Amino acid sequence: MKMKSIHTEINDKTHSKRMAPVVLGICLMICGVFGTGCKKLLDIDPPINKTAATTVFSSTAFATEAMTGIYVQMIKSFAGTSTSMSVKLGYTADEMTVVRTSGIDLRSYRNQYTTDPGVWTSLYLVIYRVNAIIDGVKASAGIPEKAKSVLIGEAKFIRAFCYFHLVNEYGDAPLITTSDYSKNINVPRTAKDLVYAQMVQDLQDAQNRLTDDYLGLDLVAPTVEKIRPNKFAATALLARVYLYTGQWAKAETEATKVIDNGKYSLLTDLNGVFLKNSNEAIWQLQPNPLDPTTANTPEGYFLIPLDGGTPPLKASANLLAAMETGDKRRDNWLSDITGDGVTLIPFKYKLGPFQLDQQEYIMVLRLAEQYLIRAEARAQLDKVTGAGSAETDVDAIRTRAGLAGTTAGNKTEMLAEIAKQRFAELFTEWGDRWNDLKRTNKINDVMTLACPKKGGVWDPNKALFPIPPNEFLYNPALRGHQNPGYQEK
């Protein structure tokens, strides 16, 4: 044992010297494996339920799925059941009276909002995603030019659609045209005119890129489904943009392109207008056909009660007043569903909850509006009566509604008639009445009377919605620029 101990010690010493390179070697090996080869070791599997953006923009099919996803999201955000822009902006204005409070935002109904009752956030989330598609498609090497063009056209059309609603509900709005977050977190409000100019540019670009036909998922073959925007959708929206910006001649020209191309016609049967792919539809959104509750439109789901139930909303006195005696729209687009003779509910969509057979799509753009746009443009251009005048366009609408020709004889009367027809024709469609009242500076006159009937007191500041408070928190450039009458909190 003693000898062994000495031996061990000697070994220890010699080992220490001999071991030095071994130790160094092991250290180097560790460093080699974990040091230089280390980047490889950090390669991980991609998530199984997600696709990297770079992959998405490597093929037309993938990129089209992404663009199509935006239409689905638009339904979720802007055409949901109780949060639908058509319903909510309808009762925020003077289109409807509340019957049953559940599902109704009473602060909006009474024009008492102190925070955003609208869709600022949803609109910008869609804008971010169309920008991401524009950026992604532009940079893509795998998508053919033609498909690229269509995708960018659709994206720009949607961008213009979102900005149209932003400037109308909020006024000046930050103009965002890139998906790079670092550029978008510090953006001030852009003057309304400049935003409109961007809309015009986007829509003109969309007109150039999109085809006359409605396209299928391959972005090549035509289809009867009008659920992707085509050139005329861009044109129709452009006509509206020109109308809203007072560019009457351009509005007339663009509206004429839609009316005269022969693809669309006013249906004489009012009950057929809102069916899917109706001849009057310029662009529709397809509700989820697999949803067992709302396979048809979410608005129908919300507005039409189940048997024996109480509807949430009925036509307001103002809306009924816009419909003359004998107006077929009163009989076909309103319904006395409870049979009490007074509760006339909006009935453009006729299929309520649990209607599994998909027959109706969400109408976004339709021909009747183009007639009314052109009528107003012509009236403003002093083409009030006669051939190619406001009168012919208004009468096209009146006739379809079962009414005699208009008696309006001068510009003022004609504009009043057009406003009335817009109300009667376009109620519960994307806040058209609400925007019209503002555009034509009638909002204070109308709402001062209408608001108390809803249980509120009209404040002219309420014509614009407040920007949501988080926007001021997260975007310092907005601070100090809330709409008048609201807090930035």
Within residues 28-47, the interface with another protein by CB under 8 A covers 30-31, 33-35, 38-39, 41-47
Asked if residue 384 binds another protein (CB under 8 A), the reply is no
* Given 120, 242, 283, 465, the residue binding another protein (CB under 8 A): 120
Q: Is 107 helix (H, G, I), strand (E, B) or coil?
A: helix
Q: Tokens in use for 58? A: 């490597």
407 binds another protein (CB under 8 A): no
Of 179-187, 260-268, 337-345, 424-432, the window that binds another protein (rule: CB under 8 A) is: 179-187
Among 251, 209, 241, CA closest to 379: 251
**333 binds another protein, rule: CB under 8 A:** no
Q: Rule CB under 8 A: choose which of 93, 98, 104, 132 binds another protein.
A: 132
Give the pair of three-digit tokens for residue 111: 């024009």
- The region of 177-185, 250-258, 298-306, 431-439 touching another protein under the rule CB under 8 A is 177-185
- Of 121 and 245, the one with the shorter C-beta distance to another protein is 121
Among 95, 118, 129, 137, binds another protein (CB under 8 A): 129
| Among 10, 21, 106, 222, interactor with another protein by CB under 8 A | 106
Is residue 178 within 8 A of residue 139, CB to CB? The reply is no
Could you say which of 21, 101, 212, 449 contacts another protein (CB under 8 A)? Answer: 101
For residues 346 and 300, the answer to whether their CB atoms sit within 8 Å is no
**Footprint of another protein on 291-330 (CB under 8 A):** 291-292
Please select the residue that binds another protein; options are 73, 177, 211, 245, rule is CB under 8 A.
73
Q: How far is the CB of 255 from another protein (least distance, A)?
A: 27
Please tell me whether residue 468 binds another protein under the rule CB under 8 A: yes
Nearer to another protein, 136 or 346 (CB): 136
The residue from 88, 110, 374, 383 that contacts another protein (CB under 8 A) is 110
CA distance 425 to 372: 9
Q: Maximum CA pair distance of the chain?
A: 129
Which residue, 185 or 317, is less far from another protein as judged by CB? 185
CA angle 47, 51, 52 (to 5 degrees): 100
Minimal distance, residue 409 CB to another protein, in Å:
42
- Choosing from 187, 191, 270, 416, the residue that interacts with another protein (CB under 8 A) is 187
Amino acid identity of residue 16, one-letter, is S
**408 DSSP assignment:** -
Residue 126's CB is within 10 A of a number of other CB atoms, namely: 21
118 membership: H or E segment, kind and range:
none
Which sign, positive or negative, has the C-alpha torsion 77, 83, 85, 87?
Answer: positive
Give alpha helix (H) positions in 231-286.
231-244, 248-260
* Closest to 281 in 3D by CA, of 222, 351, 230, 221: 230
Q: Which is nearer to another protein, 52 or 404 (CB)?
A: 52
- Among the listed residues 82, 121, 253, 277, the single contact to another protein using CB under 8 A: 121
Query: How many residues interact with another protein (rule CB under 8 A)?
Result: 94
Token pair for 79: 């055409």
Distances (CA, A) of 10 to 15, 21, 22, 31, 475: 8, 18, 18, 31, 73
Find the part of the chain contacting another protein (CB under 8 A) among 114-122, 311-319, 327-335, 412-420. 114-122
Residue 288 binding another protein, by CB under 8 A:
yes
**Is residue 99 involved in binding another protein (CB under 8 A)?**
no
Among 317, 321, 356, 473, binds another protein (CB under 8 A): 473
DSSP, residue by residue, 57-68: TTSHHHHHHHHH
Site for another protein in 247-266 (CB under 8 A): none
Residue 62 interacts with another protein (CB under 8 A)? yes
The verdict on 185 binding another protein (CB under 8 A) reads yes
The gap from C-alpha 43 to its chain's centroid, in whole angstroms, comes to 40
Rounded least distance, CB 183 to another protein, Å: 8
Based on the shown chain and the rule CB under 8 A, indicate whether residue 448 belongs to the binding site for another protein: no
From 191, 217, 220, 320, residue interacting with another protein (rule: CB under 8 A): 217
Using a 10 angstrom Cβ sphere, with 0-12 exposed, 13-18 middle and 19 or more buried, the burial of residue 482 is middle
Q: Which stretch binds another protein (CB under 8 A): 103-111, 149-157, 247-255, 333-341?
A: 103-111
Residue 174 interacts with another protein (CB under 8 A)?
Answer: yes
> Which of 83, 97, 140, 179 is close enough to bind another protein by CB under 8 A?
179
Name the segment binding another protein (CB under 8 A); options: 67-75, 77-85, 234-242, 406-414: 67-75
* Cβ atoms 390, 248 nearer than 8 A: no
Q: What is the 3-state secondary structure (H, E, C) of 184-242?
A: HCCCCCECHHHHHHHHHHHHHHHHHHCCCCCECCCCCCECCCCCCCCHHHHHHHHHHHH
Please choose, from the candidates 376, 387, 380, 389, the residue with its C-alpha nearest in 3D space to the C-alpha of residue 436: 376
Structure tokens at 23: 């130790």
Check residue 212 for interaction with another protein (CB under 8 A): no
The answer to whether 140 and 63 are in contact (CB under 8 A) is yes
**Least distance to another protein from the beta carbon of 248, Å?**
32
Give the one residue of 102, 325, 407, 441 binding another protein; rule: CB under 8 A. Answer: 102
Distance CA 287, CA 290 (A): 9
Burial label, 370 (beta-carbon count in 10 A; 0-12, 13-18, 19+): buried
Which listed range, 50-58, 82-90, 144-152, 416-424, lies at the site for another protein (CB under 8 A)? 50-58
